[in-house]
Amino acid sequence: MFDVSSVREIEYGASGVTYVYQDHDDPKLWYMVPVPRLRTLDGAPSFGLTEYTSNGGGIAGLCTFEMELVQPVEARRAAEEILGNDISWGGFVWVGGTAYFYYDIAGENQVLAVEPTLYGTNVAAFQIELETAEAVNSFKNAFSGDAGGASTFRVEYEMQVLTKLLGAKATVIYTAEAAIEYEKKYKTVRDTWGNQKQVLQEVKQVLRQSGAGEVKVELGPGSSDELAQRVRDWGWTTLENQVANTVAAAAVMATGPNPVSATTSFNQTYQEDTVIDWSTPVSSFMRRFSSDEWKQVFTKVDNRKLSVVFNLIGELNRSGTDDPVAETVTVTVSYPTRKTDNTFTLIVTDGDQSSKIYEAPGDFSGGSYNPEFTYSYVINFKDGKTFQSDPITTTDTLVNITPNVFGTRQVTFIGQNIPFTGPAGVREVNIDFFFAPPAGNPAIVQTKTLTGNGVENGVRFDSFYNLPIGQNYSYRLRYQMADNSEIVSEPPGALSSAPDFTGSGNADIVFVADPKGLFTQFTLRAFNYTTETTTLLLVDVNAQYFDPLNNGDSWLAENTWSNWQPTGLLSFAEPRWNFQAVDNTNNAYFNLSGTIFYSNGESFTLDGYRQSSEYKTLTITNTVQNYSIKVDSSLIDWTQVSSVNLTMFQLKPQARERFGKALPAFLTRPRHEMSRAERVEAEASQQNVILFSLLGAPSGVVVDNLERFYGIQRPIAEPTIEFYYTAVYVLKDGTTRELANQEVSGRLSVELPALPPATVTPGLVHQVIEPEALAARMRQGG
């Protein structure tokens, strides 16, 4: 493992710069951070700029290119002149990374983020649609001109590798209010559903420009200013990824709203010796092309062409060996203008042949550009078996073929400053883990035990099928304390970060921390959608935090906001409520009670309003009232069931008008199982979406039957309170069962059955209740 405090900057050539790190234990072993360069294929640069003279298809041009990471020979020579000729070179094992392309159009800075392959030379394929002639000219000016000269556009790689934070302590701080204010003024509309990299692009800009992010570094004795800067760079990368993960996970896993403004403030400190994803940001300006090269890379055509990047990315080797999970993937593309030569082969783990930019003349047979194409693929396994995918129709211009389609998933749990010693410490951590297997394969809850911190003590769960598996999985952490008590930590569900939703990278890494060390901040805010009619006058609210799995019926923390008078459009109640608690968002909840007074003399009572602790914000408005739904899971037959995924949501008013009672069938599925087009439709239709993951237990462990709580809203102008839900039961034999379409009235509770019948058609449960009936029942004590 390399020592982050030993970083050295190495200059080479006319203007080249890279960084090297010394091994922690072997002073003669060094690691060099590779630098980006434009990829070359068959002796030619992998770059193309096309100008569409008729602007056919709605854009004026397209730029595609591929970058890779290399260790230049001259950089090694320069390093050896400084470090000595008797040194040896080690190699980084990347656990994640992002490649950014920074460019500008008419003076406005832009950034595009993509996922590198995470093996070989970390090829990153970029494709930029240029909407206007001005944008095309910006690219022409940037890349044409002096041979060998540098462009003003640059590419930066931020790659992650596991190591320990040595020689410094870092604190990353996120202030949600600053991001909210920034978004109100500058937010642009982007389709971020299911694409964590697009979320990251926006977050990267918001944090820097809004002042919502801050990184503090404290150096240890003898540490250098250079180390401080490298730790600061790492802290920013970590902060950006944490905020982006929160936003993107909410979108893809259906666990809440997805704008940056939905996040809550946090502050996290990384002590010395903490195992971290160390980032190695390195960038280089792209080069200009000579006049001869320009004739090869720049073309003019009448109309837009179909251009799609196909990538094999992620950890595609079997655990513990270098054997690839498959040998090749044969892709066939169907598009009206290209009926032949439309099949190509990608070679697994061969960075030179793992990606393909597929092009075809644009189809304008319908009078306008047709962006829709269909593709399928055949995976060829080493043992001669194959898997034929179903045809997939899409308009995506980037297609990542990820590990889950090969049936492989790796998730490693690594201890991070867990107090494994002392009378009040942790004896061991039992990890209950569940993969969603392909249909017909046994579904089991596995358990492994973590007994120490660091990479060397990590435990891994592996899944290898020759059939595709889903991206989601579930786990719970059961901390066995030295005093024989138990602390349980469980998220509501996890989406694989391997690799197109990057938390730690190509094979998922979950850092397991001190069970009592979670810093929680709850925010109460008020929003007056309009100040021309009735507004919020006074808020008087008491809040309590419950974690029944760890603390029974007693509340753990309490806060009161008395006689708070909201002002303006958006305001926040002070002081903020801060406390420490176990990270148990799948089970813990907030209980809020109090009265909200309006300027017209009316009031609304929050009487035992409860919401999942995953939502650390309550927004009170002058047009919406809040209610809570109790979810009862005590009837589930855990002798037959391994897990249940419960998705709950409300419809936006315009969606209720559009759909009526005939909701699209895809709304019964979790968002990570929807197509991109379906996710966009879901974003436009659903609101207040949450996923509860109910996990069975291994033999000898009691399954919790705790109630969950779902906070919902009713517009004051609406006559009823309405919500929808669906539940997917994964049985131990690998089959699934779901709830049937049904209407339920008069209840603000959900009772999950022991097991849905095998014969029902999957559907949505629609529950409706009239507020007057609810109020009458509550007055009667019901």
| Residue 107: count of CB within 10 angstroms of its CB | 6
Domain 405-512, CATH among 1.20.120, 1.10.3470, 2.60.40, 1.10.357: 2.60.40
Residue 134, C-beta contacts closer than 8 angstroms, at least 6 positions apart:
105, 106
With a cut of 60, say whether residue 251 has pLDDT above it: no
Q: What local confidence, expressed as pLDDT, does residue 140 receive?
A: 94
Q: Name the amino acid, one letter, at 600.
A: N
**25-70 pLDDT tens trace:** 899 999 999 999 999 888 889 999 999 988 667 889 999 999 999 9
**103-127 pLDDT tens trace:** 999 888 888 888 888 778 889 999 9
**Which one of 255-269, 382-396, 667-681 scores highest in mean pLDDT?**
382-396
Q: Which of 494-503, 549-558, 654-663, 696-705 has the lowest mean pLDDT?
A: 494-503
Q: Which fold has domain 623-782?
A: Immunoglobulin-like (2.60.40)
The DSSP bridge pattern shows strands 446-450 and 426-435 to be antiparallel
Cα separation of 83 and 350, whole Å? 32
Cα separation of 444 and 544, whole Å? 36
Average pLDDT over residues 310-325: 76
712, two tokens: 């919902």
95, two tokens: 């656990």
**199-236 pLDDT tens trace:** 666 677 777 777 778 899 999 888 888 888 889 888 88
The predicted model scores a pTM of 0.80
DSSP 390: P
**71-109 pLDDT tens trace:** 999 999 999 999 998 999 998 888 888 899 999 998 888
What backbone phi and psi angles, to 5 degrees, belong to 413?
-105, 125
Average pLDDT along the chain: 84
Q: What local confidence, expressed as pLDDT, does residue 522 receive?
A: 87
Provide the pLDDT confidence category of residue 248 given band limits of 50, 70 and 90: low
Q: Is the peptide bond before 575 cis (omega within 30 degrees of 0)?
A: yes
Q: What local confidence, expressed as pLDDT, does residue 56 receive?
A: 64
Average pLDDT over residues 669-698: 79
Where are any strands of DSSP class E within 261-354?
266-270, 275-287, 298-303, 305-312, 328-334, 343-347
445, two tokens: 């809850």
More confident residue, 715 or 751: 751
With a cut of 70, say whether residue 631 has pLDDT above it: yes
259, two tokens: 């704008």
Cα separation of 381 and 407, whole Å? 11
Q: What local confidence, expressed as pLDDT, does residue 610 receive?
A: 93
Cα separation of 236 and 156, whole Å? 14
Cα separation of 91 and 602, whole Å? 68
